[in-house]
């Protein structure tokens, strides 16, 4: 498994896409931090970028990588290696490389300009988002045999989580505006890793006061130790579940 | 003629003999208590209190005396009643350290209470652990200057106000520092007062709070880190210049709340780091000009019942939301303000943008109607919605716009 991960990492490093990705993140983060003297303001802007770019790149990159490495995977399947360790090895390789890119691209500027707990939370949710979207990418690429379909599904997933879902939430809130929705809203946030990540960061940024009474409810929930454990475990589930399904399909799949 | 000369002579003689004397109070002196000194004193005498601790439970000052403290003598109320009560005109209190008034819910126990008096001056006193700090009732032409009052830290319900005026006229309040009270400065029915260069911070409720107090002027004061900021109500002809309202951050906090205020001028003030910079309800004919609104959650919340207000030459920078409202605004005008979110152009280079700016975003309207939608704060979808609304406005109020937004910030 680790050996496969190592080969995957070498392979990804050769392709230079990852280097471009980390350089892009680095450039964006440095320019955001140097544009604004107040580091918490730039953290908010950086958060917006991270919430859009990181999931998109993670899911598309992983999907294309998986399809490009299809022949290598076929070769590996012919060897006496269990299929789960092949897939997990691939996952590990892609994850480590993308996480490294994020660490270089966002981690270093944050460490320089905003080395506080908010920066840490931003990094943690960035990592979690990367992992969960790689996991979703593996799910879609294992589920679809055709490369175009697989990439299309990945794109759809990204679009769903970053745009459509919030629209749906808005619709739900509109229709049930008269009801007490505190708990429902927390549940709604849990069904989207991007929303969850964003809310955790905003809570940390003391912006919750802006949110009035509802913000206070969020703060009470997400600020408590139970809330932190809850959101972390939900994030973890968003990483594990798609991967588990992918593993299940991959094990029985006729390659 | 003769009798007049005689009376003049008598008057002169009497003046000669009744020259104002100075009574010194200290632990080794003849007079060891402030109360004894007050019994001995006549009008226009000076009482010099040396450093030491003096008990003073509800001491009434009924003569026109000057009381000067040397090196801050402690006047201790022992938490039994009020500490000093002034009931005479022309009294001057200076350099005293007033401590420990009683607390209570039936009566407003104060460190220094001034009742029905004129020309009283309270200068450079320190107040500590008093329920109310300085309380002026039905008084005129007084000066409160350079005092420092630190409220007893028992929480909101059990703390009084730093300076309270009730039914007063022409009072000058300057260079005071109020902290840890319920309200830093509180007025009811106080007219023609000047409030200048005070610092009100860390009060449990408001830094400044007044009602029915017309024609007062507020200059160069700083109100910061108060529980809910500054709230002023039911008043007309208020003038506020060069004040700073900052760091009032919390669920229900704002820099300045204007409720039923009319005909007022608010100029050159700074509003930074407040949840809401200025909230306005039922406030008419107010001119906001040359103010700085920076880094607030909302810079302005203008309710639809505000009319004929003018906002000119203000700077709005780095606020999460520039403005919010709950309906169509009538007869309010926004002109020549600088908004950092403005994205228009200036073809004729007159430094004024060619297309109007709408400070209310669609999302702030949505939040106003459904507070639960804050869950989507800074979401990509919300950005898209805001953009769409900006290019083809439909939902945000038609009238809430700046017809002549500036391209560059004013240097204020």
- Over its length of 255 residues, how does chain A's per-residue pLDDT go in tens digits? 888 899 888 888 888 899 999 999 999 999 999 887 777 778 888 998 889 999 999 999 999 999 999 999 999 999 999 999 999 999 999 999 999 999 999 999 999 988 888 889 999 999 999 999 999 999 999 999 899 999 999 999 999 999 999 999 999 998 988 888 878 888 898 999 999 998 888 887 766 566 666 666 777 787 788 888 898 999 999 999 999 999 999 998 887
- Candidates B217, B241, B221; CA nearest to B178 is B221
At residue A236, the pLDDT reads 95
**Is pLDDT above 60 for B11?**
no
Banded model confidence at residue B20, pLDDT cuts 50, 70, 90? confident
Q: What is the dihedral of CA B258, B263, B268, B273, to 10 degrees?
A: 10
Q: Give A207's contacts in chain B (Cβ within 8 Å).
A: 297, 320, 377
Residue B8 has pLDDT above 70, yes or no: no
B26 falls within a domain: no
pLDDT at A38: 73
Flag whether B411 is in a domain.
no
- What is the spatial distance between Cα A20 and Cα A15, in angstroms, rounded to a whole number? 10
Is A169–B251 a contact, with Cβ atoms under 8 angstroms apart?
A: no
Number of domains in chain A: 1
What distance in Å separates the CA atoms of residue A46 and residue A52, rounded to the nearest whole number?
Answer: 10
State the total domains in chain B. Answer: 1
**Residue B90 forms part of a structural domain:** yes
Residue B181 φ/ψ region, left for φ over 0, alpha for ψ in the -120 to 50 degree band, beta for the rest: beta
Taking Cα atoms as reference points, which of B166, B409, B379 lies closest to residue B291? Answer: B409
Buried b or exposed e, range B134-160, using 16+ CB within 10 angstroms: bbbbebbbbbbbbbbbbbbeeeeeebb
Decide: pTM greater than 0.90. Answer: no
Average pLDDT, chain B: 90
What integer pLDDT is reported at residue B289 of this predicted model? 96
Average pLDDT over residues B290-316: 93
**Helix ranges (DSSP H) in B237-379:** 362-369
CB B266 within 8 A of CB B244: no
Q: Which helix (H) or strand (E) holds B388?
A: helix B380-391
The DSSP element (H or E) to which B98 belongs, if any, is strand B97-99
Which domain range does residue B148 map to? 49-391
Q: What pLDDT is stored for residue B227 in this prediction? A: 86
Q: Would you state the pLDDT for residue B285?
A: 95
Give the mean pLDDT of B326-347: 90
Q: Is residue B40 part of a domain?
A: no
Angle at A191 between CA A186 and CA A197, to 5 degrees: 75
User: Which H helix or E strand runs over B12?
Assistant: helix B2-17
| DSSP H helical ranges for chain A | 2-15, 17-35, 39-68, 70-78, 83-102, 108-113, 117-143, 147-159, 165-175, 182-190, 193-204, 212-223, 225-252
DSSP classification of residue A237: H
| Separation CA B195–CA B197 (nearest Å) | 7
The answer, yes or no, to whether residue B65 has pLDDT greater than 70, is: yes
Give the model's confidence band at B222: pLDDT under 50 very low, under 70 low, under 90 confident, else very high: very high
User: Is B378 touching A (CB cutoff 8 A)?
Assistant: yes
Query: Would you say residue B156 has pLDDT above 60?
Result: no
> How far is Cα B218 from Cα B199, in angstroms, rounded to an integer?
12
Q: Cβ of B373 and A170 within 8 Å?
A: yes
ipTM for the whole predicted complex goes beyond 0.85? no
3-state secondary structure of B215: coil
pLDDT at A114: 85
Distance CA B186, CA B198 (A): 13
pLDDT value of residue B216: 95
Find out whether B319 and B339 touch, Cβ atoms under 8 Å: no
What are the CA-CA distances from residue B276 to residues A52, A90, A197, A247, B251 (Å)?
29, 50, 26, 51, 10
Residue of B nearest to A52 (CA): B380
HSE-up of B18 (CA within 13 Å, CB side)?
Answer: 10
Residue A105 corresponds to which tokens in the numbers above? 């691209």
Q: What is the pLDDT of residue A180?
A: 84
Closest residue by Cα to residue B164 from B197, B138, B199: B138
Residue B13, pLDDT > 90, answer no
B295 close to A (CB below 8 A): yes
Which residue is associated with the tokens 């500590």?
B128
Which tens digits make up the pLDDT trace of B166-209? 999 999 999 999 998 999 999 999 999 999 999 999 998 999 99
B368 compared with B100, residue with greater pLDDT? B100
Residue of B59, B49, B105 whose CA lies nearest to B82: B59
In a domain, B412, yes or no: no
Do B377 and A174 count as a contact with CB atoms less than 8 A apart?
no
Predicted confidence at residue B14, as pLDDT, reads 54
* B367 located within any domain: yes
CB-nearest partner of A166 from B275, B371, B376? B376
Bridge partners, residue B195, by sequence: B173, B218
> Does residue B32 belong to any structural domain of this protein?
no
Residue A30: alpha-carbon gap to chain centroid: 21
Mark yes or no for CB contact A212/B369 under 8 Å: no
- Tell me the average pLDDT across B250-267: 91
The answer to whether residue B8 sits within a structural domain is no
Answer whether B155 touches A (CB < 8 Å). no
Burial classification of residue B208, based on how many CB atoms lie within 10 Å of its CB (0-12 exposed, 13-18 middle, 19 or more buried): buried
Q: CA separation (Å) from B60 to B162, B165, B336? A: 20, 19, 56
**Residue B378: which CATH number?**
2.160.20.10
pLDDT, position A185: 85
Boundaries of domain holding A167: 2-252
B-chain residues near A170 (CB < 8 A): 366, 373, 376, 381
């Amino acid at each position: 498994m680790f050996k496969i991960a190592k080969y995957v990492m070498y392979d990804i490093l050769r392709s230079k896409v990852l280097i471009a990705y980390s350089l892009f993140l680095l450039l964006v983060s440095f320019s955001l931090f140097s544009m604004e003297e107040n580091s918490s303001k730039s953290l908010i802007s950086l958060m917006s970028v991270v919430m859009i770019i990181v999931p998109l790149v993670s899911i598309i990159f992983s999907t294309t990588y998986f399809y490009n490495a299809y022949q290598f995977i076929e070769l590996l399947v012919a060897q006496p290696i269990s299929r789960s360790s092949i897939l997990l090895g691939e996952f590990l390789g892609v994850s480590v490389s993308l996480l490294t890119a994020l660490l270089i691209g966002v981690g270093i500027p944050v460490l320089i300009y905003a080395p506080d707990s908010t920066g840490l939370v931003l990094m943690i949710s960035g990592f979690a988002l990367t992992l969960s979207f790689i996991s979703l990418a593996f799910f879609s690429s294992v589920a679809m045999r055709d490369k175009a379909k697989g990439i299309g599904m990945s794109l759809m997933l990204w679009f769903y989580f970053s745009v459509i879902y919030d629209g749906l939430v808005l619709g739900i809130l509109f229709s049930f505006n008269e009801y007490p929705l505190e708990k429902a809203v927390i549940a709604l946030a849990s069904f989207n890793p991007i929303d969850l990540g964003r809310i955790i960061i905003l809570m940390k940024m003391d912006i919750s006061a802006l949110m009035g009474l509802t913000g206070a409810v969020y703060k009470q929930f997400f600020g408590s130790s139970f809330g932190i454990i809850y959101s972390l475990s939900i994030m973890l589930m968003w990483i594990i579940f798609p991967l588990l399904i992918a593993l299940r399909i991959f094990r029985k799949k006729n390659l | 003629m003769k009798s007049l000369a005689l009376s003049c002579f008598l008057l002169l003689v009497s003046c000669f003999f009744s020259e104002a004397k100075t009574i010194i109070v200290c632990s080794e002196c003849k007079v060891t208590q402030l109360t004894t000194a007050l019994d001995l004193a006549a009008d226009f005498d000076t009482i010099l209190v040396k450093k030491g601790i003096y008990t003073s439970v509800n001491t009434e000052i009924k003569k026109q005396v000057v009381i000067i403290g040397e090196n801050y003598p402690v006047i201790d109320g022992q938490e039994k009643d009020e500490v000093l009560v002034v009931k005479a005109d022309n009294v001057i209190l200076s350099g005293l350290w007033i401590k420990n008034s009683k607390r209570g819910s039936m009566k407003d126990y104060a460190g220094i209470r001034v009742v029905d008096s004129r020309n009283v001056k309270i200068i450079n006193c320190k107040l500590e652990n008093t329920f109310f700090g300085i309380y002026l009732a039905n008084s005129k032409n007084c000066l409160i200057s350079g005092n420092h009052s630190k409220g007893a830290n028992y929480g909101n319900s059990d703390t009084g106000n730093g300076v309270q005026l009730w039914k007063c006229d022409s009072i000058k309040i300057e260079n005071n520092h109020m902290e840890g009270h319920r309200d830093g400065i509180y007025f009811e029915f106080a007219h023609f007062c000047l409030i200048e260069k005070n610092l009100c911070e860390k009060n449990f409720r408001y830094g400044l709070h007044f009602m029915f107090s017309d024609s007062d002027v507020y200059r160069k004061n700083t109100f910061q880190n108060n529980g809910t900021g500054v709230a002023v109500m039911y008043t007309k002809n208020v003038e506020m210049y060069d004040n700073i309202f900052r760091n009032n951050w919390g669920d229900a906090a704002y820099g300045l709340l204007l409720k039923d205020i009319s005909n007022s001028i608010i100029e050159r003030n700074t509003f930074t780091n407040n949840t809401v910079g200025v909230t306005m309800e039922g406030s008419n004919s107010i001119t906001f000009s040359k103010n700085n609104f920076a880094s607030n959650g909302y810079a302005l919340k203008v309710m639809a019942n505000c009319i004929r207000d003018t906002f000119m030459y203000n700077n709005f920078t780095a606020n999460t939301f520039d403005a919010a409202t709950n309906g169509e605004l009538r007869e309010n005008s926004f002109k020549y303000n600088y908004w950092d979110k403005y994205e228009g152009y200036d073809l004729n280079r007159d430094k004024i943008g060619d297309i109007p700016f709408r400070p209310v975003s669609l999302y702030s309207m949505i939040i106003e109607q459904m507070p639960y939608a804050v869950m989507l704060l800074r979401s990509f979808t919300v950005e898209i919605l805001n953009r769409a609304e900006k290019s083809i406005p439909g939902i945000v109020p038609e009238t809430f716009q700046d017809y002549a937004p500036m391209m560059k910030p004013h240097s204020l």
